[in-house]
Amino acid sequence: MIPDKCSFCKGKLIEGKHEFVVKIGETVLAIRDVDAFICQECGEAYYTPETSRRIDKIMQKFYDSSLRVHPLAA
Ligand SMILES: [Zn+2]
């Protein structure tokens, strides 16, 4: 469920593309062109459930591949 107003500043949300950035350990993962609703006032981004699922999948893939490439120290 997407609010029609920003829950932080009550600014208006507009549909657009967003760059989702998350820091995982030492690595910064950026996902470009994510569909989002972005607050015109403070820039806070709100994601649709579909987009959240997409981000989850990408992050899961990232975790899986990074674990294979960099095994955890015993
Ligand atoms: Zn806002």
pLDDT tens digit string along 10-69?
Answer: 999 999 999 999 888 888 989 999 999 999 999 999 998 999 999 999 889 888 887 676
Report the pLDDT value the prediction gives residue 65, as an integer from 0 to 100: 82
Give which of 37, 51, 35, 34 is closest to 4, Cα–Cα: 37
- d(CA 61, ligand 1 centre) in Å: 31
Report the pLDDT value the prediction gives residue 17, as an integer from 0 to 100: 93
Q: Which domain holds residue 57?
A: 1-74
Domains held by the chain: number: 1
- d(CA 57, ligand 1 centre) in Å: 27
User: Who contacts 24 (Cβ-Cβ below 8 Å, separation ≥6)?
Assistant: 59, 62, 63, 66
Report the pLDDT value the prediction gives residue 69, as an integer from 0 to 100: 63
70 pLDDT more than 80: no
Residue with tokens 């350990």: 25
What CATH number corresponds to the domain at position 34? 3.10.20.860
- d(CA 45, ligand 1 centre) in Å: 8
